[in-house]
Structure 1
């Protein structure tokens, strides 16, 4: 490595332009950190004629990826083009050419991360992807570096800013889901097609990556259980608020006795939980380690410069490794063969809202059903809807297995007096309430 290290950019959208901005504006800091200049030599774009908010030397722009991948002067490839198949092909070619790769591509890493890491190691190259999860929050390096000597037992977080913005508006302003989504789209927090965000798919990809790194095991994307926010009702957010909870789309990754579970689901968080105050488009990841206890990482989960900052942290790490001669030495073998937790081994509290006949003895029947499954109630709210001769019952259980809770749901469906199971959600971080365990509205 001489007085300059050359970088090739694959893609020049929101993140790519942010990377260019940081490199050009922070060159003095980079030279001080690394002892060398960082220079973007070539940039792959789809449309060279497109107007951009960054002034570019047109001689650096190309539509041919081979020019970048085969350039012997380019040491590091930064992939910010998105997509899966084409990006994977380019990265594998980069490794074959002995080039290090930094990517922000969560979809690619979630689906092909282990394969790409193995290819990087075989070619003595670095493969880093800090920006693929939670934008500017240094969560991956926190897990693989700062917490690497600990046994991480749980990672849970708000890892999708779009859904967090929508839920904040619904909870704080009583805004219907459709209106909150539209506002998020107008402000640029949600895509024109928000499916990946609101159905939990984006968060699932990130949780697969987090679980894989936290537990050093081979978690696959299809093993992440996913539920989104499209069908949330304002009533559940309002009842949750009354009971001391706030609704968030939470990603969970847990490991106990080599059994793992990874999921993404709307969750009623106790207002005392550290994640409860994370609002609008912000992300936060809560990590519990056996030795360190509770830690939390918080910050902007997307955006040009926050994500570009994470990309550049990886670039700096690559260059430092070059200077030390330690590139391509990441451990890729899983620490243990995982087993997925069965529902009987997954424990938690649950919120349940029912519509039942407003008649004497109905609640006694429901209570007996839950008692037979060894499920007790922590909170009970009952609200008669007199004009329909219907009562609305809200229950919050004590700790129980998911297996037993699912059995209770199935049996409730068959009860003549239960008109409708309106909703049910996981409850996390609950505490005992001074007011007692039962209330009637």
Structure 2
């Protein structure tokens, strides 16, 4: 009965998060399901059919009903339209300087240039350039061959429509920040999904994502420069990781069991946390590590990774080496939260079903060990590393053991905490 209730809770939770994702990140949802590309294909198909209809290459009755015939105009006016088309077409060349500047401006590690022209048909500068010049030469040919002014006008207006869409796209993405952020976030989701494929052997070629690599490099660069905007990048890591886990957490969990797997957005997030530790940004490192564990716990996932599992140990090692009690005092509550989250996270290592995975089916399942010496490391940090006075040690140890007691009492993960709390009791007896 209890298991049925738990399964229903999980089912409703997945439905809730799927709805929440579509409400909170509507633009990402539209981009991710190629809604914009569908509109572009529909518009492009209509323009091509219109052109073929006017050139008498094909005959579609439904196109005839839609199109409005232009009145016949004089040859001099037709020539003016043709010269206007020549001017409009060569106006693309004047946009190159603007486009070059867009390459220098970055949003979340990716240049606005890439964001504008990525995952788009009508936003592809090479495609638009080829089409515009093709239409220009077509209209010149039609004018020389004394074609109907109606056809020439339609070619002119198709040219105008394509160029208008192209310029509008540049204006929107370079001035509407929210649209730009949602577009690049949708690209990161696409790219992350590519990295989480079917389990692969060690000999198979690796896949790399240039977009995610740029995000990772931008985050590390900002940390090294001590630019606080790196926090914005961390928010992107969390958002993409959470949305990816909601959508295909089983694939991600399976991917981490393989001997060879691609570094996805979660590993890149973890790598950025390690850079924070190396640069002694311990407060941010602890906060980000806690957010990562909270994200994994909320999605009920365990990822078999040495890198993720050893972050808390690296934090303790870094603070111990620093021997600065102010750092410890500032972060002691968050460190206790890290301990609690690590214990909660360990529940899924013990209780998740991995038999659906390729490794699980072969009975060769071997999960990477979870860092479990945090109790001793926290105690040693107080007792040996920080050079505290006896009164300070006594106060810190009292807070520590009280915090552990509350963790054990407040946790819903009873089976795991009974085991861990027994270990705590042993430590308490050992140190009196």
| TM tier, smaller | under 0.3
Bigger radius of gyration among the two = 2
Higher RCO (C-alpha under 8 Å, 6+ residues apart): 1
Query: TM-score, normalization: structure 2?
Result: 0.26
